[in-house]
Structure 1
């Protein structure tokens, strides 16, 4: 008997208008509280400094968050008069590369804070009166959800900037992550077959996640857990960075040109490896997922281990597919929003948790820690799904399609619950190492 493939609906569809407004207001408020935490943690001199040419000054991110909120919520949805049309170009990410942003006439810290506060007041006014039906931008509060995710994505970018800054620690972590619950099999076998990939029903899903479509995946095995620092250290110690046979031509050229010998922020002292994490120097923790590795490094490790990186469809099938019902879940564990005992999200711990720490977050197929801890590189280029339509603007996804960007999945310890789900897609250049990225391996059967 064939199984009919479906996807789980989002509970937002069942909310009335007032409860939807309350939910949306809470999501926007949580994002803003996080933005304040990340910008209030440092002084004004730190806010305007560029800590790496790969990143913007923190004050640019803050004002950019406000500018996007003004454009989409205050002007487009609310139909209100512009507050600061004079800074639209200044905070257009496509007009000014990150390396050049410190030279721009940016709003200062006090002015930026006042601006984003004024924008938020007007956005809440719009939320209180807008009809949450009638157009794609307002249906189920999509535009508000898009702006919430945009702010949380920039919050994670600002968290990466904090990792790059020098000086004493300024961010506070919550309780220590849970420990490993017990031994697990090394890999999970996934039988061949079709499943429903992407979504057509998730109300705040972004254009590159749409539409839902059936995909056939050949039989494969995927690691039960992400690759750990201890696993990766074996590759380092075996001379993995000195042997071209494990690397693609582009990866080998990159690591040799930049004299890379280990994950970013690692250093060796005598016989021991250390890492720097948000201003703290500590021994490399063997049971945590490895983080701050590029696609090239992940691919080389997989080759050394006799495996490969999973494709994007393989990753999503392992995360979402329920073989009993044939349904694609919203999250690995089911359809409910993440709980603290299911995934490490929201910069709660400021580090990945040990592998095996979240047994309640396992997928129906038995794969662990697919959401949170570290973004996971896949072997797939970033491309649109069949039937893709850019919305609400091409520059969110479509301009990045092609072989230059690789897909990452699953979110990290620095990702908020509003900006991650089983269908969420991230992408970046294969050389990127400052992001909170790790990986797991797969193999064909």
Structure 2
């Protein structure tokens, strides 16, 4: 049996460590709808434990502030009305100090609840879901902070102590997999999200997949050769997106005096050509693959081959639509809203990223985003 109190403390402290370099003003900014202010993240993850653990299962608990259910509910229709997503940046109140008090209040109550020892299997599973939910928000916090600071005209550094993971391109030939029946999906002990269930068989034609991610140098060839101005490599929706938004390069890239720079957690720096390209949309990933005369792997090809290459540095766009696995069933109540209702109009990403929380990645993990989004650490692995 895992030590629930220890897990709770560790996950909550990591969120606080992520926020440590921030100034108070950084907590409030919401430049675009997809980015939430950091203070909303720390409030929402606290609300999750209050709403789904303390209020229904801890008789001694007194709600901190009834208004917080309206403020920090994200998308749970079952739980009631909420502030619309675009208004999260308008919440000057509650203040950062208020939310930190709320966080401590709930933490104290949660540790008292866990210490009581009267936790059945269902509640334990909810707790573990809460840990994983907060780990998801830790990654969102880091990417949202990068967007907030990366769109500040001064390009301030988030933290000089941030360690960029090393990327080494193997240069090995494409990995070949034979046609046949493969099994995909989660199986075994430990946590997984409901969208990873149920394990099932898929038939795959023979294919080849790159052992390496595409680098900045390789992607720059696409940019320099007019890839963003050649409609032949783009979906119609992608071509509209490029032209409407005047996209010329990956997010955070800026051409200064003839040299490409990009915003990093250390501030604005020349693009490191040896790193894996990141912050690109599905549209861009597809167009690059088309320009190379190749394609993106399906999520099932990716999972079947993942044991033969290194992954985890970038979320990797796949050619698969985000759909339910055979036998998928949503849980009753609010928890059932976690994944199932988003299974339309989105693409699956596989792997993990350099800002994914430790122990929060699995070969069966199914991330998903709309095809135009690129503020996450998204990258490209080619297939043919």
Check the 8 A contact 1:78/1:130 in 2, yes or no.
no
Structure 1 residue 120 corresponds to structure 2 residue 122 = no
Question: Counterpart of 1:66?
Answer: 46
Flag the structure with higher helix content.
2
Whole-Å separation in 2 of the counterparts to 1:229 and 1:263? 10
Q: Deviations over 1:88-147 (max 9, x none)?
A: 12211124443211234642111101111121222223333345654xx33xx3222211
Aligned length: 370
Q: Equivalences for 1:234-383 in 2 at 5 Å? A: 234-278=221-265, 280-319=267-306, 363=307, 366-368=308-310, 370=311, 372-383=312-323
Question: Counterpart of 2:326?
Answer: 386
Q: Which runs of 5+ in 1 are unaligned?
A: 1-16, 320-362
C-alpha displacement at 1:43, in angstroms?
2.2
Q: What SS is found at the alignment partner of 2:346?
A: strand
Structure 1 residue 419 corresponds to structure 2 residue 360 = yes
Check the 8 A contact 2:61/2:109 in 1, yes or no.
no
C-alpha displacement at 1:26, in angstroms?
3.7
C-alpha displacement at 1:32, in angstroms?
1.7
In structure 2, relative to structure 1, the CA distance for the partners of 1:129 and 1:198 (3 Å cut) is farther
Q: What SS is found at the alignment partner of 1:42?
A: coil
Check the 8 A contact 2:170/2:212 in 1, yes or no.
no
Whole-Å separation in 2 of the counterparts to 1:77 and 1:193? 48
Whole-Å separation in 2 of the counterparts to 1:176 and 1:251? 30
Check the 8 A contact 2:28/2:92 in 1, yes or no.
no
Question: Counterpart of 2:78?
Answer: none
Whole-Å separation in 1 of the counterparts to 2:262 and 2:28? 26
C-alpha displacement at 1:418, in angstroms?
3.6
Q: What SS is found at the alignment partner of 1:89?
A: helix
Check the 8 A contact 1:27/1:418 in 2, yes or no.
no
Q: Which runs of 5+ in 2 are unaligned?
A: 76-81
Check the 8 A contact 1:309/1:378 in 2, yes or no.
yes
In structure 2, relative to structure 1, the CA distance for the partners of 1:97 and 1:298 (3 Å cut) is farther
Structure 1 residue 145 corresponds to structure 2 residue 128 = yes
Question: Counterpart of 2:159?
Answer: 171
Check the 8 A contact 2:177/2:206 in 1, yes or no.
yes
Structure 1 residue 45 corresponds to structure 2 residue 40 = no
Q: What SS is found at the alignment partner of 1:432?
A: coil
**Normalized against structure 2, the TM-score is what?**
0.90
In structure 2, relative to structure 1, the CA distance for the partners of 1:178 and 1:244 (3 Å cut) is closer
Question: Counterpart of 1:355?
Answer: none
Q: Deviations over 1:173-216 (max 9, x none)?
A: 35564463x74313101112222211243432111111111222
Whole-Å separation in 1 of the counterparts to 2:159 and 2:54? 32
Q: Deviations over 1:323-358 (max 9, x none)?
A: xxxxxxxxxxxxxxxxxxxxxxxxxxxxxxxxxxxx
Whole-Å separation in 1 of the counterparts to 2:378 and 2:119? 36
Whole-Å separation in 1 of the counterparts to 2:59 and 2:319? 43
Check the 8 A contact 2:213/2:381 in 1, yes or no.
yes
Q: What SS is found at the alignment partner of 2:70?
A: coil
Question: Counterpart of 1:88?
Answer: 69
| Structure 1 stretch displaced more, 385-394 or 309-318 | 385-394
Whole-Å separation in 2 of the counterparts to 1:236 and 1:407? 25
Whole-Å separation in 1 of the counterparts to 2:242 and 2:293? 21
Question: Counterpart of 1:358?
Answer: none
| Structure 1 stretch displaced more, 98-107 or 253-262 | 98-107
Whole-Å separation in 2 of the counterparts to 1:93 and 1:176? 31
Whole-Å separation in 1 of the counterparts to 2:341 and 2:167? 41
Q: Equivalences for 1:4-19 in 2 at 5 Å? A: 17=1
Question: Counterpart of 2:141?
Answer: 158
Question: Counterpart of 1:397?
Answer: 339
Question: Counterpart of 1:430?
Answer: 371
In structure 2, relative to structure 1, the CA distance for the partners of 1:367 and 1:86 (3 Å cut) is same
C-alpha displacement at 1:405, in angstroms?
0.8
Q: What SS is found at the alignment partner of 2:269?
A: strand
Structure 1 residue 203 corresponds to structure 2 residue 190 = yes
